[in-house]
Amino acid sequence: MQQRNLGPFTVSASGLGCMNVSMGYGPRIPDADAGRLFNAALDRGYSFLDTASLYGLGHNESLIGTYLSSRRDEYVLASKCGFSRTAEGKTVMDGRPAVLQETCEDSLRRLDTDVIDLYYLHRIDPQVPVEESVGALAQLVAQGKIKTIGLSEICADSLRRAHAVHPITAVQSEYSLWTRTPERKVLATCSELGISFVPFSPLARQFLTGKSPDVTAVLEDDIRATIARPRFEPQNFAQNQKLLGPFGKIAESNGCTRAQLALAWLLAQGDNIIPIPGTKHMEWMLENAGGDAVSLDTATVAELDALINEDTVAGYRYTDALMASTDSEKDWPRAGGLE
């Protein structure tokens, strides 16, 4: 796989999002199967793995610790903090320094490692100034428990405030052909400040592969039936599916799959962009690895831009409540309800 710079690290042009094996898209696969998938990903050339304390409430980190600790020098490891559990068992945003310190200690133990290479604040806690949370992460750097700091789903103003406290290595947010929010301000801010951008859900929660069902055909706890429901509602989904025919023809003309085309479009947006497609399926992990071998000319990039964008996609990426509470959406406020 091609290589890209991520702060002080050199990593594969596409990383591996590890969440899917633990939560989000249907039942977990057996732990041993997850271990085989992770090891096969390293064998294929993936050298950037992304997890979080939230994923499976520690399960995902434990898988990495169990199955990859013996190969720790082969990959750059990213994890995340910024959530806690209430006495009632509810998961809430929590950016208090003491919580971030405790979460990091727990993650290090589960991951069976001495240090986390890139540690993100998973979401900004509206009750805690971002400067305070990033200050706590800077202390973790000083303690040698993490090497670099990242932020997730953050607006440009919050990013600048955080970067003034401690250099930010990467921003992770949803970005794909059908989710363009980062193009409003954050991508330009990252380029200005020398920060890498890590798109999650680069395949639009499977939609761009042509394999995704609508909301009526997934389990009730599937992300496409919960926080990302609007675009998968039957009416919106039917409208969005009309985009897949032309999209598939562009992929065919470029000698690649739809998934590889979606990743190639992202990689063409800038050398600082490192997508992290996630999957539970061995064959799709291997397929995604081929995205960096697809070279798109300017005309094809423009054709894709015109075909799939915020104006041609029906429905918001999140529910109304989540849109209102997500810091990155401050860069691109949208009036009214769901489309």
For 227-251, what is the mean pLDDT? 97
Token output for 299: 């005309």
Q: Tens of pLDDT along 70-79?
A: 999 999 999 9
What local confidence, expressed as pLDDT, does residue 87 receive?
Answer: 82
Domain residues for 54?
3-204+258-295
For 309-334, what is the mean pLDDT? 91
**Residue 172, in any domain of the structure:** yes
Of 25, 55, 119, 318, which one is the catalytic site residue?
55
**Residue 330, in any domain of the structure:** no
Q: Tens of pLDDT along 205-225?
A: 999 999 999 999 999 999 999
For 265-292, what is the mean pLDDT? 98
User: Of all residues in the chain, what percent carry a pLDDT higher than 70?
Assistant: 98
Q: Which residues contact 98 (CB under 8 A, 6 or more apart)?
A: none
Number of domains forming the structure of the chain: 1
**Residue 216, in any domain of the structure:** no
Q: What are phi and psi of 9, to 5 degrees?
A: -105, 155
**Residue 337, in any domain of the structure:** no
Q: What is the mean pLDDT of the chain?
A: 96
**Residue 147, in any domain of the structure:** yes
pLDDT band with cut points at 50, 70 and 90 for residue 339: very low
- Exposure letters 9-34 (e unless 16+ CB within 10 A, then b): bebbbbbbbbbbbbbbbeebbeeeeb
Distances in Å between the Cα of 255 and the Cα atoms of 45, 251, 286, 290, 301 are 21, 6, 16, 11, 15
Token output for 304: 């894709």
Distance of CA 43 to the CA centre of its chain: 22
Domain CATH code at residue 53: 3.20.20.100
pLDDT band with cut points at 50, 70 and 90 for residue 36: very high
Distance of CA 320 to the CA centre of its chain: 20
Strand partners, 200: 174
**Residue 305, in any domain of the structure:** no
For 23-48, what is the mean pLDDT? 97
- Helix pair 258-267, 244-253: axis angle to 10 deg: 80
Radius of gyration of the chain (CA): 19
Report the predicted TM-score, pTM, of the whole model to 2 decimal places: 0.96
What local confidence, expressed as pLDDT, does residue 258 receive?
Answer: 98
DSSP per residue, 260-323: HHHHHHHHTT-TTB----B-S-HHHHHHHGGGGG----HHHHHHHHHHSSTTTS-S-SS-HHHH
**Residue 316, in any domain of the structure:** no
Do 10 and 4 meet the contact criterion of CB atoms below 8 Å apart?
A: yes
Alpha-carbon distance 67 to 9, whole Å?
22
pLDDT at 67 over 90: yes
Can 55 be counted among the known catalytic residues? Answer: yes
Q: Which residues contact 217 (CB under 8 A, 6 or more apart)?
A: none
Of 111, 183, 194, nearest in space to 332 by CA: 183
Q: Tens of pLDDT along 79-123?
A: 999 999 888 888 999 999 999 999 999 999 999 999 999 999 999
